Structure 1
Amino acid sequence: MSPRQTLTSLIVGLVLPSMAAVAAGKCERLVVTGSPDAPPYLWRDPQDPKHLMGANADLLKEAATQMGVKVELLFAGKRSQALEEVRSGRMDLLADTPLNTGELESLDFIHPPIAQNEIMVWTRVGHAQPFNSLAELSGHAGAMSEKTRVTPTFENTIKEHLTLAKQPNLTQAFQQLMLGQAEFVLAGRYAGLALTQTLGMSKDLQAQPLPVDTPGLYLALSFNSACNDPWLRGQLAKKMTELAASGRSSEAVARNLELWKAQLQQPASTPNQ
């Protein structure tokens, strides 16, 4: 064998194993979880309780199909349990988590967010007091569902400046508002729209024009996931950027809002938000 052939064989011998390692490292299946009670973004499928459905599920599946990766969205319990499953690496990815600096030591957050949730001030129709800013809410009794997630900065603002009663769910918060036990409710735009319509409150309650907080909902990949590699992180970030620019996120939210409303109106269903 000539020196040139020997060198070529050596290069091929070095390159092929590394290419095989890259191919073997490509993730083929992602096990995903998230909040079971955050419609229209993510919630437990009433027809298949082992799985989650929602706008984030649809968007992630669309992105994964384009990447050649299979995705399964599984119910893992309440939010804290879902977080622990991903932290530990038993599941790979969270599909709807707010950016939390305390989790940066265990999770890779994919930017930009897969969706954004507008937190609105809801009041009774004809409410005389203008609630167009946080300053105008100070000193007035409000309510909020424990399940409503806000940014850390806004959470601190609530604690320092607002009088806010946390309720087990949004239904009870809106009932307080209807009964005059609260002057306002802080709730997501879409969850509020669906629930007021479903509960027959849409003529009595309204959202003020501007959101007071806009938390992003992120994909977060576990440090302990066997799928966590530069290729996957880069592909997910690319797909999230494309989704944000395409308007597909808004379409998915609108579609799943209607799905959730239809489920709430079924006799066997009860609002869980």
Structure 2
Amino acid sequence: MLLRTQIIYSLLAMLFLNAAVALGEEDPSSTKQCTSLTASGNSEYPPFLWRETSTSDDLQGVNRFFIDELSRRINIPIKLIYVGPWSRAQSEVKNGRVDLLAGAFYTNERSDYMDYFMPVILHTNSVVWQRKGSMFPFTKKEDLEGKWGVTVIDNSFGQEFDHYAQRHLNILSVSSVSQALRMLAADRVDYVLYERNPAYAYAVKLGLSDSIVPVLPYISSEGLYLTMSKRSSCNTSEIKHKIAVALQKMQQDGYTEKALIKGIEAWEKHSRTELSLK
């Protein structure tokens, strides 16, 4: 009789649990509640992300304003931190040690370990940078064949261009955009592949804006997404729904454009301060 009673209670408990889940109530057997999130990104990506100093652990820029606003709207603290170069930031998200990536292009490989949120944060254009005095005709990606290029480790220019580059182009990978631009200025490579605005910001900072130039057409125009690690303990349907709703409302009320303006102004102020200290 006791065994039968226990079985009946167990069945009733299961029915109640299933009913609660069906009604959208929290499943007590699910993962622990998410009380905070960590985010990182490409620290050499002004005006979208950068570090104030070479020893700073914080990231500033357009995406910082964006993440801070997202945190406020979902009512969950998000700490945007520097964890190393762009390749390291991606690795930390892949392993689940960092929850979010504040700005990434879509690739099939990345989608294996990250969930992508819609809508995109913004769109950005990637270009071919050449050295003045030794420029070559460029109107299509095929014009890069037979030449030597350089970009940053684990950088992407969209699925289509990445596949073409792997099969047909000679592209070296280095740890930073600063190194890539210096290699171009020193005539060690024929071109650099990188997003236009961040590369221009660093060209000015390095004093190379008079010797290297971006050329048209763009090699790609890609959406910059917020992503979440599939290994994150906060990767739940509830949290992802909150983030998706907040992103949609941020786009609708024009916050993305406000963040872009604030980020550009912050980078210009940072650049003027650095120049005054030299």
Q: Give the TM-score taking structure 1 as reference length.
A: 0.73
Preserved CA contact (<8 Å) 1:56 1:115: no
CA RMSD between the two structures: 3.8
Is 1:95 aligned to 2:107, yes or no? no
For residues 180 and 77 of structure 1, do their structure 2 counterparts lie closer, same or farther at Cα, with a shift above 3 Å needed?
Answer: closer
Q: CA deviation at 1:59?
A: 0.6
**Is contact 1:195–1:261 with CA below 8 Å preserved after alignment?**
no
Equivalent residue for 1:49, pick from 42, 45, 56: 56
Q: Which runs of 5+ in 1 are unaligned?
A: 1-10
Identity of aligned residues (%): 24
Match of 1:228 in 2: 235
Match of 1:214 in 2: 221
TM-score, normalised to structure 2, is 0.72
Distance in 2, Cα, partners of 1:120 & 1:205: 12
Q: CA deviation at 1:119?
A: 0.8
Stretches of 4+ aligned residues off by more than 6 angstroms: 267-270
Length, aligned pairs only: 257
Structure 2 CA distance for partners of 1:224 and 1:169, relative to 1, 3 Å: closer
Q: Any conservation in 2 of the 1:97–1:217 contact (CA below 8 Å)?
A: yes
Helix, strand or coil: the match of 1:149?
coil
Larger deviation: 59-68 or 144-153?
A: 144-153
Instruction: Give the C-alpha shift of residue 213 in structure 1.
Output: 1.7
Tell me the distance in 1 between the aligned counterparts of 2:221 and 2:205: 24
Asked whether the 8 Å contact 2:52–2:270 carries over to 1, the reply is no
Assess if the C-alpha contact under 8 Å between 2:44 and 2:177 holds in 1: no
Q: Classify the secondary structure of the residue corresponding to 1:76.
A: coil
- Match runs of 1:243-254 below 5 Å: 243-244=250-251, 248-254=255-261
Q: Using the alignment, how far apart are the partners of 2:36 and 2:263 within structure 1?
A: 24
Q: Which amino acid aligns with 2:193?
A: L
| Distance of aligned partners of 1:104 and 1:126 in 2 relative to their CA distance in 1, 3 Å threshold | closer
| Alignment check: 8 A CA contact 1:194 1:257 kept | no
Report whether the alignment pairs 1:160 with 2:147.
no
Name the aligned partner's letter for residue 116 of structure 2.
F
Cα distance change on mapping 1:89 and 1:179 into 2, 3 Å:
closer
Deviation at 1:62, TM superposition (A): 1.0
- Superposed CA offset, 1:51-101 (max 9, x none): 222222211211221232222113333445444544454443222233343
Alpha-carbon distance between aligned partners in 2 of 1:141 and 1:230, rounded to the nearest angstrom: 45
**Does 2:68 correspond to 1:61?**
yes
Gaps of 5+ in 2: 1-15
* Cα offset, 1:236, TM superposition: 1.9
**Separation in 1 of the partners of 2:107 and 2:146?**
29
Moved more, 79-88 or 204-213: 79-88
Q: Cα 1:163–1:37, aligned 2, differ >3 Å: closer, same or farther? A: same
Q: Distance between the aligned counterparts of 1:68 and 1:88, measured in 2?
A: 25
How far apart are the structure 1 equivalents of 2:215 and 2:249? 31
What is the match of residue 202 of structure 1? Answer: 209
SS at match of 1:66: helix
Corresponding residue number in structure 2 for 1:256: 263
